[in-house]
Chain A
Amino acid sequence: DQQVKQNSPSLSVQEGRISILNCDYTNSMFDYFLWYKKYPAEGPTFLISISSIKDKNEDGRFTVFLNKSAKHLSLHIVPSQPGDSAVYFCAARDFGNEKLTFGTGTRLTIIP
């Protein structure tokens, strides 16, 4: 049972444009959401997070939006840069425990 879903396995975006990565979840007990970025042969690195009490969090070029009623979150990257090419994982924490459930990832390619 995939509780965190990233339905787009890949996405290509022109450099300078906005990249939008999407994530859906099914567990209403998730209370904290994170995005991680992964380059080949490296471990994932933390990008940005959002608590379920908020609907938006911004950090430089990265903004995460949370729509609790739709159980949907998205990561916006603007403007997109070539170094943003990587696999992006959405993750969620279940209230009451500390394990993170990850999605299957979206491979973002920024086209120069």
Chain B
Amino acid sequence: GAGVSQSPSNKVTEKGKDVELRCDPISGHTALYWYRQRLGQGLEFLIYFQGNSAPDKSGLPSDRFSAERTGESVSTLTIQRTQQEDSAVYLCASSFQGATSPLHFGNGTRLTVT
């Protein structure tokens, strides 16, 4: 079946502009994660959604970052007033049930802020 789909695959934006990144998880997966990977770094947790529970937003680096998820489907990550340090690959993952089920990652969105 289809895997996790992310769009766009690449995004170049000017500093100060807002961007919206989209994630389509695997159907039936109740858990959805956003991570980012800056150049030469590991994966940095941003936010976690599980079903209808309140999301774990503890990894969002600033109030410029927000994310939404519609039920158990699509999620969008929005970055307002982008800064150059926001440049990274943003990865979305879904799993059947939290972190002890394998996370299935999308191929990521490479964001470049000029």
Separation of A91 and B91 alpha carbons in the complex (Å) = 15
Interface size class of B (residues with CB under 8 A): 20 to 34
Separation of A61 and B90 alpha carbons in the complex (Å) = 31
- State whether A98 and B43 are in contact (beta carbons under 8 Å apart), knowing that A43-B91, A44-B105 are contacts in the complex: no
Question: Looking at the complex, which of A13-21, A62-70, A74-82, A102-110 is the stretch in contact with chain B?
Answer: A102-110
- State whether A99 and B33 are in contact (beta carbons under 8 Å apart), knowing that A32-B99, A43-B4, A104-B42 are contacts in the complex: yes
Nearest A residue to B48, CB-CB: A99
The residues in A between 36 and 94 inclusive whose CB is less than 8 angstroms from any CB of B are 36, 41-46, 49, 89, 91, 93
- The listed residue (B40, B48, B107) touching A98 by CB distance below 8 A is B48
Query: Is residue A100 contacting chain B, with contact meaning CB distance below 8 A?
Result: yes
Separation of A104 and B104 alpha carbons in the complex (Å) = 19
Provide the B1-42 mask, 1 if CB < 8 A to any CB of A, else 0.
Answer: 000100000000000000000000000000101010000111
Q: Do the beta carbons of B42 and A89 come within 8 Å of each other?
A: yes
The residues in B between 87 and 114 inclusive whose CB is less than 8 angstroms from any CB of A are 91, 93, 98-100, 102-108
Contacts of B48 in A (CB 8 A): 98-99
| B interface with A by C-beta (< 8 Å) | 4, 31, 33, 35, 40-45, 48, 50, 56, 58-59, 91, 93, 98-100, 102-108
